[in-house]
Structure 1
Amino acid sequence: MNLLIEVLAFVVAIGVLVVVHEYGHYSVARWCGVKVLRFSIGFGKPLVQWVSPRTGTEWTIAALPLGGYVKMLDEREAGAPIPAEELPHAFNRQHVAKRFAIVAAGPIANFLLAIVLFAAVFATGVSEPSAIVAAPAPNTAAAIAGFDGGETVVAVRNADAAESEPVRSWSDLRWKMLGAAFDHRRIVLSAKDSHGISDFPLDLRDVSEKDVDDDFMSRLGFEPGGGKLIVAGVQPGSAAQQAGLVAGDRLISIDGTPTDNATAFIAYVKTHAGKSITLQVERGGDAQQAGKTRDLHVVPQLQHDDTSGQEIGRIGAELATQVPSITVRYGPLESLQLGARRTWDLAAYSVRMFGRMITGEASLKNLSGPVTIADYAGKSARLGPSAFLSFLALVSISLGVLNLLPIPVLDGGHLLYYLVEAATGKAVSDRWQLVLQRAGLACIVALSAIALFNDLARLIHF
């Protein structure tokens, strides 16, 4: 069933994004008076075909649904001479500004789609973890800033500015910190607890670009807190089972330190192999047991960690974190503004990340291919409409940015040709276009190979 959901979600996602991208080209081409011969979703053998009697455009759904294209009337691609009356409608006969607009319309359509999708999510409301900080590990940036755990971040500002921006959820906090890390800025987080609101200075100037990934917040010591750390399962014969830990137990503290976060709990256990630790747990179950706390003494077993290659401690318990959430909802106008801002931030982040991968400042492991996209499409679909729409918006932005890269065979490569033509008054020669086309194709093949390798590496964990 999960595989079926992933496949369907992937097909829907790719279908929507391709249709929107190609319709951007199509609509502007029609507006500029260019004749469109074919609008194809997918490549290869046509499965469904229909010719519009009004425009003469052939609409096609093809067998391989991993892209699409819009074929326009063009003297350079025509197999036979074009009738004289149709020459004014040929793409190559258009002014360079019109050609530029037609090519740029595809990526722009992807950005507009992302704005609309994000706006819909913001307007209908999305449930996100509250911006409550769990007790940070010692010597992390969060601990050095002064966080003890349990504080709710309510605002963020630059260290040298007085005006602050509100923080509404954990996701909102993550994006603001991500931007500050990329810009190597010092910021101040305002957080409230039972004593009031306090400021916590955070220096992100020395954060490496290679560290800005999915684990970015964790490495700084920031994990969602304020919730419950629950034992989801216990492995037979493990240290956890021997100590009496059972599924459903709530972990309250470890060696007297309150715990509400799986990452910090696991990190503590790893460093205590062979040493007895005391867990205070609250046991569920029948009415007589519910709500009662007890102390359990467990000795983590020494095991080899294949990822780090080190010997670490493990107790053999599966953990689940139940964090408090908040429903974030905005008005229509504010939703559009936030949608545009989120789209801009993500597009700028994608460009900077790609640039740093080229220069070697960021790992090529950040590239993902169709397998990862299908996996995340299925996961987001199972989480609900808001998560799936946000996923669609994210991939739409990635598609727009990718197509704007100045690589021949992509939209960005053609736009580069038109900029040269506008500046010099001469079109790039067919010979140079052929040479650059081959180089661009080699780049795309290399990027695709790296993305596919990363997909396989994530899939089989090597």
Structure 2
Amino acid sequence: MSGFLYYLAAFALVLGILVVVHEFGHYLAARWAGVKVLRFSVGFGRPLWARRFGQDGTEWAIAAFPLGGYVKMLDEREGEVPAEELHRSFNRQSVLRRMVIVVAGPAANFLLAIVLYWGLFWNGTEEFKPLLGAPAVESAAASAGLEDGELVLKVAGESVQTWQEMRWFLLQRAVEQNQIELEVINPQHEIAVRRLDVLAVRQSGWEGEALDRLGLTLYRPRLPPVLGQVNANSAAADAGLRPGDEVLSIDATPIGSWADVVQHVRKSPGKAIHLEVLRDGVRVESTVTPAAVEERGRQIGRIGAAVAADGRLPAELMVTVSYGPLSALNKAVIETWDKSAFTLLMIGKMITGEVSWRNISGPVTIADYAGRSARLGVDYYLKFLALVSISLGVLNLLPIPILDGGHLLYYLVEIIKRGPVSERTMEIGQQIGLALLLMLMAFAFYNDINRLFSG
């Protein structure tokens, strides 16, 4: 399968699961409340496939426009209802029953995330240890004194076992704190406390990957400076370099690892460098001019060659994390709650301008992440699915007319004023909600396109 089709399939599966789960939540709640369901649709627009099932003859359909779905219920506001079925009409239900039906969709998304996390935590996942690589020059990590090979034990007093756990605690603390204490242990088994300045993350509006901005990188083991792959039509290929070549020196400077090769190449965009390589026991000299590539506002060099590696990760870089069934369930609930609260907090800060709107992702970016996570393995893909499910649940609960949260807002007003919201008010609300949703989608698509062209 080509890369594009693979990413498209990974995205389609995520989208299909989330839409079905969300709408099935509405469907089950409607059935519980005794409301007749006329149609269950995955997607909008003209049905590509439709069948009727069940005692009520509910139509189950897959429609042409796949970004969403809906459950159509019997409702006097949308057509004439036979007298014998009035009691099964949505609008005839008590306000509390209507609220349950509406909230059931987002609740199903949160429940899916809990189930996925529970299974992952119970089964056990193999993840990267929070081992730090050499920090970027002049970064916050370098200023804090963090060094290559240090293992993070605690973040702001919270013990961490994995790289993702460390990242999550840092993000949570960086929302309000300017400095975060990291307790680390170095390869010589010496424990130290480093104070990491995270103010730059907030000042940037949380644009980009926060750990990259701080200079925190995952530890990379020292690899021999041997070429494994040379891309066609690359600077390395033009210079005659071949897979299996061992780089001995660059510009007369001895090379000890692949990291040394990368360092020399990156700092020489468009500038010829002289290599001495060992090929089949014979020393060969070559001159290569790294291509100039834009990266985060500055130019770096690339020659189009990758290191020779067998693809296996050293055992000392990994840790297997697992829990008993009850502990796993407890952690799954906490994980879902924390990520929901953090998502809501970031949305609030986006509204106040503290977080950049460039962080909004559209379908292209989500598809990209879906494909990447799928390539990394089932565990990563399921974690991605859980995270997007949480985001969908939170988004739908926002008090925006046209979303589930908007309907809940109408029902709260109905409880307070002891009467339904007028049709005119709901009509105006729908127009405002649609405008906000279209604006949000426009931002998302703009950001997707911008990422495609700027990298």
Q: Please tell me the TM-score bracket, short chain as reference.
A: 0.7 to 0.9
Deviation of the 1:61 alpha carbon: 2.6
- Taking only the aligned residue pairs, the percentage that are identical comes to 47
Aligned twin of 1:75: 76
Aligned twin of 2:25: 24
In structure 1, how many angstroms separate the alpha carbons of the residues matched to 2:381 and 2:262? 30
Aligned twin of 1:455: 448
Aligned twin of 1:90: 89
Aligned twin of 1:400: 393
Deviation of the 1:86 alpha carbon: 1.9
Deviation of the 1:173 alpha carbon: 0.9
Aligned twin of 1:102: 101
Question: What runs of 5+ residues in structure 1 fail to find an aligned partner?
Answer: 158-163
Aligned twin of 1:42: 43
Deviation of the 1:25 alpha carbon: 0.8
Q: Which amino acid aligns with 1:127?
A: E
Deviation of the 1:97 alpha carbon: 1.5
In structure 2, how many angstroms separate the alpha carbons of the residues matched to 1:381 and 1:103? 32
Secondary structure in 2 matching 1:225: coil
Please report the TM-score for the alignment, with normalisation by the length of structure 2: 0.84
Secondary structure in 1 matching 2:40: strand
Secondary structure in 2 matching 1:439: helix
Q: Which amino acid aligns with 2:8?
A: V
In structure 1, how many angstroms separate the alpha carbons of the residues matched to 2:270 and 2:367? 42
Deviations 1:331-362 (A, max 9, x none): 22222222222222222232222233333322
1:154 aligns with 2:175: no
1:377 aligns with 2:370: yes
Secondary structure in 1 matching 2:215: coil
Contact 1:47 1:63 in 2 (8 A): yes
Deviations 1:213-269 (A, max 9, x none): 54211221211115235655457785899798965759999979997869xx86776
In structure 1, how many angstroms separate the alpha carbons of the residues matched to 2:298 and 2:13? 43
In structure 1, how many angstroms separate the alpha carbons of the residues matched to 2:234 and 2:406? 60
Contact 2:239 2:288 in 1 (8 A): no
In structure 1, how many angstroms separate the alpha carbons of the residues matched to 2:341 and 2:247? 42
Deviations 1:51-100 (A, max 9, x none): 3343442222333332211111111112x2x2333222211122212111
In structure 2, how many angstroms separate the alpha carbons of the residues matched to 1:126 and 1:225? 19
1:218 aligns with 2:179: no
Greater Cα offset, 55-64 or 238-247: 238-247
Question: What runs of 5+ residues in structure 2 fail to find an aligned partner?
Answer: none
Aligned twin of 1:388: 381
Aligned twin of 1:131: 130
In structure 2, how many angstroms separate the alpha carbons of the residues matched to 1:371 and 1:327? 32
Deviation of the 1:167 alpha carbon: 1.1
Change in CA separation of 1:34 and 1:267 when aligned onto 2, cut-off 3 Å: farther
In structure 2, how many angstroms separate the alpha carbons of the residues matched to 1:358 and 1:252? 53
Deviations 1:406-452 (A, max 9, x none): 11111111111111112222322111111111111111111112212
Kindly report structure 1 stretches of 4+ aligned residues shifted beyond 4 Å. Answer: 229-262, 265-281, 296-323
**Matching of residues 265-414 of structure 1 within 5 Å:** 270-271=266-267, 305-306=293-294, 317-318=305-306, 324-414=317-407
Change in CA separation of 1:180 and 1:43 when aligned onto 2, cut-off 3 Å: same
Deviation of the 1:104 alpha carbon: 0.9
Change in CA separation of 1:449 and 1:138 when aligned onto 2, cut-off 3 Å: closer
Deviation of the 1:188 alpha carbon: 2.1
Greater Cα offset, 125-134 or 44-53: 44-53
In structure 2, how many angstroms separate the alpha carbons of the residues matched to 1:411 and 1:331? 35
Deviation of the 1:22 alpha carbon: 0.6
Secondary structure in 1 matching 2:412: helix
Greater Cα offset, 378-387 or 165-174: 378-387
In structure 2, how many angstroms separate the alpha carbons of the residues matched to 1:246 and 1:50? 56
Please report the TM-score for the alignment, with normalisation by the length of structure 1: 0.82
Aligned twin of 2:12: 11
